Structure 1
Amino acid sequence: MNETIHAAPCNSNAIDEVKNVLSYLRELPGKGILTGQHTQTTVQKELKYIEEVTGKLPALCGFELLAYSPNINYEDAGEACLIEVEENKNTLDNAWDWVLNKHGLITFTWHWFSPFGSRDKGFYTEHTTFDASQAVLEGTEEHARLIADMDHMAELLKPFCEKRIPILWRPFHESEGEWFWWGAKGPEVAKQLYRMMYLRYTHHHRLNNLIWVWNSPLPEGYVGDDVCDVISLDTYPPKHTHTDLEDEYNRLVKITPANKLTALGEIGVLPSIPRLSETHIPWVWYMTWSNEFGATEEWTTKEELRHAYGHPYSVTLDMLPRLY
């Protein structure tokens, strides 16, 4: 864990701001961890809760892009789905505010309603007939529609690139499982989907502001060192169980011999910051999930939250240097 972490961007055309972020992250292990919080709605109740309890804000804010999916089937969607989409609209406005006015880091999550064949919450496998194994084959309708959706999202990301704002981009998250359509056909198909997006976004759209985050702990289907900057996993330990997540780290780093930056893409409870300050398990960030995970005491008490945000090992927004 004391080896030098190689953090040159996988994209050789990455902008200097990406290099700045990666250089900063490379120096973090053993010195600190970025505090992170996912916000699922434009209200951002999680940030308000954290600030009320701790007087601080996280260094990294996560934003949800599900409402920007171009093929939401509003005609065959339940009330819960419609509410979730409505509450998620305009989250990019919040992201712009975060980077322009607070100068924090951002990461995007896309619960992608499938390109066709979806109903209700169409990012779930059970709610779509879309076949990802056909989408990786050129000449199929699935492939054409997949590329169209990718291009739609690329246009929304381009203004960030034009403003030279780096984004921790975590596509096809949790692809080790079958619950999302992109993982339903197995890890090898998910790998191909990711590599397709990487080539499309770097070569065709020239989105050179993206920091590519792979999000699966499986050695099978690992996308490759050449197309990812950070490896990550999602984990939801039992309520009020705060550890350094050493076992999860040891599992994750087995996917590649390269000494990649490592992150907790999603977590339900805060990790133990005091424990991390002692063991130096080299997570560079964690991102607590939204709603009850990040805005109530159901998973992490206010006392634990204050302790974490007040600990010198935690990097909060006020401690983050200007990286872009």
Structure 2
Amino acid sequence: MHIVLRYIIITALFLLFYNLLASAQLYSPCDKKATAETSALFFSMQRLLGAGVLFGHHDDTAYGVNWKFELNGSDVKSVTGSYPAVYGWDLAKIEHDSINDINGVPFKLQKQLVREAYARGGINTFCWHMDNPANGKTAWDTTEHTVKELIPGGVYHDVYVSWLDKAAAYMADMKGPGGEAIPILFRPFHELTGSWFWWGKNTSSADEFKTLWCFTIDYLRKKKKLHNLLIVYSAADFDSEGEFLERYPGDDYVDFVGFDNYCYTNVADYQTKLDNRLTILETIATKHHKVACLPETGYEQIPQADWWTKILLPTLVKHKLSYALAWRNGTASHYFVPYPGQISADDFIKFYNSGKVIFQDRLTPLSVYGKPNSEL
């Protein structure tokens, strides 16, 4: 009974705080024709800044450690009792009319899981490890200077447009129970300041990249009439404002600014770099009227038992950050959130109970889309 009462009190106080934040200055989506649900989500995520960091996990309900495609499956929920607030997905392979995405998730199932996340009031975000349109090789193929050949007038422009058509048709078919388009945080060309993808800084000039970005967003909005997309500009390594903004396409084409940052063996170095970059990011977000986020992070296999509360949480809460998403749980040797019995599972529960992060159970009552949600 004490636990139930505590939850009710915490929820009531949180809702009060959330409503007080509603009077703060809010910025509209960069798409002036954004749907009502998409605008409501963007406003809601701004109101939540400072109330808690939304926690996300890639492919959370599709598979995990030692399970795959199970009803109500989720390693996050198995440990904490709640789903994450943000659900990451990948469009990769939709460009080839594949049945499955890059991680083997059937697109039919992926679409169903997106709808389920939306129904419980969760937030869906998509990246796209798009294969190289110039040669059909993977996203990690950097043998050609592809970007300049995809913009209007380029040799492979028509191929690129045909791939955009397939992705647009797929995203347009993601509908809520009332037939409304499900809002999506769309994160194209992620880790764009890196050199490992065909859209990276080593295979294109800043102007070429910005031209491709603007063409892509304009095409999806104006030609394909997708007005349910909130655009995430996601960098990789950077150490200054100028470095982060070198390939920035402009405020009319971005809603969220963020970067991907993983923890490796040097945990102290990860924490220092994450803190420094979040400080820079906050400044950029404020100047450009955008929302700061951490679209990918994590520590593979989480070998440090208290990593969640001693490394990640203290760093996140120092900054005005919307969401932080951990990468996927692919196999018993490749995972980024704990499963029951994993060495950091108890600490992950403390992370969840800290009151400083928001999982699905705290998000659902807020009705971030402006309408009641159907389930937890």
TM-score by length of 2: 0.73
In the alignment, which residue of structure 2 is the partner of 1:309?
352
Distance 2:58 2:297 in 1: 10
Distance 1:14 1:282 in 2: 24
Distance 2:356 2:33 in 1: 33
- Give 3-state SS (helix, strand or coil) of 1:25's partner: helix
Match of 2:278 among 249, 258, 282: 249
In the alignment, which residue of structure 2 is the partner of 1:80?
none
Q: Does the 8 Å contact 2:149/2:156 carry over to 1?
A: yes
- Give 3-state SS (helix, strand or coil) of 1:293's partner: coil
Q: Does the 8 Å contact 2:57/2:327 carry over to 1?
A: yes
Q: Where in structure 2 are the equivalents of 1:156-195 lying within 5 Å?
A: 156-160=170-174, 163-183=180-200, 184-195=203-214
Q: Where in structure 2 are the equivalents of 1:50-129 lying within 5 Å?
A: 50-70=76-96, 85=102, 87-90=104-107, 91-100=110-119, 102-119=120-137, 122-126=138-142, 129=144
In the alignment, which residue of structure 2 is the partner of 1:282?
320
Tell me which amino acid in the other structure corresponds to 2:349: R
Q: Structure 1 residues 247 and 284 mapped into 2: Cα distance closer, same or farther (>3 Å)?
A: same
Q: Does the 8 Å contact 1:213/1:229 carry over to 2?
A: yes
Give 1:130 shift.
Answer: 6.5
Distance 2:116 2:106 in 1: 15
Give 1:144 shift.
Answer: 1.2
Match of 2:47 among 27, 36, 55: 27
The question of 1:323 aligning with 2:341 is answered: no
Q: Does the 8 Å contact 1:176/1:187 carry over to 2?
A: no
TM-score by length of 1: 0.83
Q: Structure 2: any 5+ residue segments left out of the alignment?
A: 1-23, 68-72, 239-243, 300-307, 330-334, 370-376
Distance 1:225 1:86 in 2: 32
Give 1:282 shift.
Answer: 0.7
In the alignment, which residue of structure 2 is the partner of 1:79?
none
Q: Where in structure 2 are the equivalents of 1:209-248 lying within 5 Å?
A: 209-216=228-235, 218-238=244-264, 243=271, 245-248=274-277
Tell me which amino acid in the other structure corresponds to 1:264: L
Q: Percent identity?
A: 24
Tell me which amino acid in the other structure corresponds to 1:229: D
Larger Rg: 2
Distance 1:61 1:31 in 2: 20
- Cα RMSD for the two superposed structures: 3.0
Q: Summarize deviations over 1:282-304 as a string: whole Å, max 9, x none.
A: 1100000112113569x982123
Tell me which amino acid in the other structure corresponds to 1:98: A
Give 1:259 shift.
Answer: 3.4
Deviates more, 1:214-223 or 1:186-195: 186-195
Tell me which amino acid in the other structure corresponds to 2:312: S
Q: Structure 1 residues 275 and 175 mapped into 2: Cα distance closer, same or farther (>3 Å)?
A: closer
Runs of 4+ in 1 over 6 A off after TM superposition: none
In the alignment, which residue of structure 2 is the partner of 1:273?
313
Q: Does the 8 Å contact 1:135/1:141 carry over to 2?
A: yes
Distance 1:148 1:84 in 2: 18
Give 1:124 shift.
Answer: 0.9
In the alignment, which residue of structure 1 is the partner of 2:160?
146
